[in-house]
Structure 1
Amino acid sequence: MAHFVPCSKTLDASNVADLYFREIVKLYGVPKTITSDRDTNFTGHFWRTLWKKLGTHLQFSSSHHPQTDGQTEVVNRSLGNLLRSLVGNNPRQWDLTLAQAEFAYNRSTSQTTGKSPFEVVYGQNPSSPLDLAPLPATNNFSGDAVDRADHIKKLHEQVRLKIVKQNEKYKKQANKFRKPAVYKEGDLVWIHQRKERFPRGRPGKLSPRADGPFKVLQRIGENAYKIELPGNYGVSAMFNVSDLSRYIDENNKDSRTSPFQPGENDAEKSEF
């Protein structure tokens, strides 16, 4: 289930915390975990200290690796599509349509689960304006609370099995083109200079698409590494494994140059 809350880009961590308590904690209580990107509001001392005192574990996505929290990325795209269809000729009034967008999203059927978020959480969909017409009532719950609880438990188990099945399907498809790559601390690697990661420092079209070699400092999770970068780079030192390639010394008989050759088209570079 998603909740959409308008806010300003100028809000600091304390303002974001106020919003979270006012809109989310009042409904569900203090969470056990929070998954977010590495925005300065979420990596700062105030935010970390607040949730540590409340016993909430903070989980941060890898830099420039949206797959870490793919569900949020999908929700963001869906929200964008909903708002474009709702605001019409009044794009500046997008915040006034968030309530309708939230209701529409939570009532729509998920392709993965076959159920809407409302059904998964509450066991049934709320009435919409179209449902207010005088139609025969169907699929009502039994008045017995035990029957309703059993129904929701079975529903959650069905949804869980569908999610597992779909995840296995997505994993199998993604692994077709994925090559395992594991680096140790001290290894030398090339870094791929994606234009979204290096918007200003990206070299020209005919320049190499990689830079380095740089030393691996630390492995973060399964797919991210901390790299020792020069101070003039001005970007996060965290890189996804898909942006790294092993460096081989030129004196080695099996040596090769950077895999990202001059003039390479980013769109043609396969992900792994």
Structure 2
Amino acid sequence: WHASIKCAPFEMLYGRKCRAPICWDQVGKRVIEGLEMIEVTNAKVAIAKEKLKEARTRQKSYADKHRRALEFQTGDHVFLKVSPARGVRRFGIKGKLSPRFIGPFEILDRVGEVSYRLALPPQLSHVHDVFHVSILRGYKYHPLHVITYPLGQIRTDLSYE
């Protein structure tokens, strides 16, 4: 049973129910031939298309509940989501407690409908600079986000006074 077409795929394809091993000794009904068969097949294809269209709109309504329309402007700052598998290979970030988002990066321009080109730092020059909107998070600048430490003299072992 297929929920989208409201019948079994075998039944949709062949126009009859599939014979299970229990009913193999029973004789089925005769096969329709000629113009009747073409008309029945065309009617079943039309029904299947209609039911698939209904299923597609129903599934789209469920999926749209979780989607959010994001648009960024040139010059905005965004965070970039780093997946654990890709983080090790591309961004050099590894470990369970590694950050899920890196950045913020400035948006240089919009590429296509849902992709943006980011200004990446030189250490990420090996990464392609165009990203899909689904892996970007908006960033609003706030002065409390910037922490400055008064560093004195930095030693060669990277310790300071």
Could you state the TM-score of these two structures normalised by the residue count of structure 1? 0.41
Tell whether the 8 Å contact from 2:111 to 2:117 is kept in structure 1 after alignment.
no
1:114 corresponds in structure 2 to 6
Unaligned 5+ runs, structure 1: 1-108, 258-272
State the AA in 2 paired with 1:225.
Answer: S
Unaligned 5+ runs, structure 2: 147-161
1:172 corresponds in structure 2 to 61
Name the larger-Rg structure.
Answer: 2
Could you state the TM-score of these two structures normalised by the residue count of structure 2? 0.62
Partners of 2:33 and 2:22 lie apart in 1 by: 21
State the AA in 2 paired with 1:178.
Answer: R
State the AA in 1 paired with 2:33.
Answer: G
Query: Aligned Cα RMSD in Å?
Result: 3.7
Structure with greater proportional helix content: 1
The answer as to 2:115 corresponding to 1:225 is yes
**CA 1:169–1:126 in structure 2 vs 1: closer, same or farther (change >3 Å)?**
closer
1:136 corresponds in structure 2 to 27
**CA 1:238–1:124 in structure 2 vs 1: closer, same or farther (change >3 Å)?**
farther
Structure 1 consecutive aligned stretches of length 4 or more whose deviation exceeds 6 Å: 125-129
The answer as to 2:145 corresponding to 1:243 is no
Q: CA deviation at 1:137?
A: 0.8
Q: CA deviation at 1:129?
A: 8.2
Greater RCO (CA < 8 Å, at least 6 residues apart): 2
Q: Residue 46 of structure 2 aligns to a residue in which SS?
A: helix
Structure with greater proportional strand content: 2
Q: CA deviation at 1:219?
A: 3.8
Partners of 2:55 and 2:18 lie apart in 1 by: 29
**CA 1:197–1:169 in structure 2 vs 1: closer, same or farther (change >3 Å)?**
farther
Partners of 2:46 and 2:64 lie apart in 1 by: 27
Partners of 2:15 and 2:8 lie apart in 1 by: 9
Partners of 2:16 and 2:136 lie apart in 1 by: 46
